[in-house]
Chain A
Amino acid sequence: GAVVSQHPSRVICKSGTSVKIECRSLDFQATTMFWYRQFPKQSLMLMATSNEGSKATYEQGVEKDKFLINHASLTLSTLTVTSAHPEDSSFYICSAREGTGAGEKLFFGSGTQLSVL
């Protein structure tokens, strides 16, 4: 199946710093990518939809100035957690859409565990 690479897999940072997470589709072009976050023992929560060449669409309650999303190419989307605080510590997961219509599938990266001290 299609491969989505997410980097880094784990990051520890100090409170107040910014952290960038990369999501790449390795063998297909993804005009749309999605960003999720997941707290321990909970399900994935959709944060935003990232569209190549346009502004991201954020889900209700997600601060767009806090979580900056850039989708500058058909194979790369980035999520920057700005001025991170301990409550931002979470598992962040990206996904990329391959295909359209009936054949559409979403493939997921392996996730980034963010720990803010």
Chain B
Amino acid sequence: DAKTTQPPSMDCAEGRAANLPCNHSTISGNEYVYWYRQIHSQGPQYIIHGLKNNETNEMASLIITEDRKSSTLILPHATLRDTAVYYCIVRVKNQGGKLIFGQGTELSVKP
């Protein structure tokens, strides 16, 4: 399984862009990068996923480096409600889609 490395915590000012990095240097060619977030005492919420191209949806943008060894999740205009733990996960190859969670980044959006 490819492992991911994320900073344990980050702060961001409300209204500014939050850029959350993730390293996955051992990712395999057909493994996707998924991002989820978990607000305290709730189930994780799907944000976005990608293989090698950059992706954007209504919640966030995902930038994947050309060598696919790292990625960045961008929340363009962070709000207080974006305070959560953000998990960068590499989908386990040939394992039916199960997601193995690392420690994630605790993002605090401050007024």
Contact = CB atoms under 8 A, between A and B. Distances in A.
Interface string A50-75: 00000000000000000000000000
Interface of A: 1, 4, 6, 32, 34, 36, 43-46, 49, 91, 93, 95, 97, 102, 104-111, 113
Mostly helix, strand, loop or mixed at chain A's interface? strand
A43 B46 contact: no
B41 A97 contact: no
22 contacts: A4-B43, A6-B43, A32-B96, A34-B98, A34-B99, A44-B38, A46-B98, A46-B100, A49-B98, A97-B96, A104-B91, A104-B97, A106-B34, A106-B97, A107-B46, A108-B43, A108-B44, A108-B46, A109-B43, A111-B42, A111-B43, A113-B41
Interface of B: 32, 34, 36, 38, 41-46, 49, 51, 87, 91, 96-104
User: Chain B interface secondary structure, helix, strand, loop or mixed?
Assistant: loop
B43 A105 contact: no
A56 to B, nearest CB: 12
